[in-house]
Structure 1
Amino acid sequence: MHDNPLPDTTRAEPATSPRLCGWIKRRYRTALGLALRGACYGAGTAAATTTVYWLQHRP
């Protein structure tokens, strides 16, 4: 079909894939902790904003 002398590397798995998977597995708990921390900061900010808004607009 094609007369390309180079090997077809489109289907080859990248060499860094096992290293990347290992890196993700080692840092999974850290990433979850940071996501939980961010969610808590967001919830706290929303609660404080809602409280301030309610205090400013009550009769």
Structure 2
Amino acid sequence: MTSAAEETNAPLADEAWRAAIQHAAGCLSCRTPGVRCETGEHLLRAYEEAARQARSGGDA
């Protein structure tokens, strides 16, 4: 059973994941092993936080 908080926060995690993947698909730095991309890392952290909030019911 999905809680109301999960229904509210899960779309945020989906959007954050989509943004990270879209960035990585077009970013040479993200696609090059050993190269660091600050934007890609920021987008990935945003996704991780949104997913953590969705799992915890938005309390994180």
TM-score (norm 2): 0.40
User: Greater CA radius of gyration, 1 or 2?
Assistant: 1
Query: Going by fraction, where is helix more abundant, 1 or 2?
Result: 2
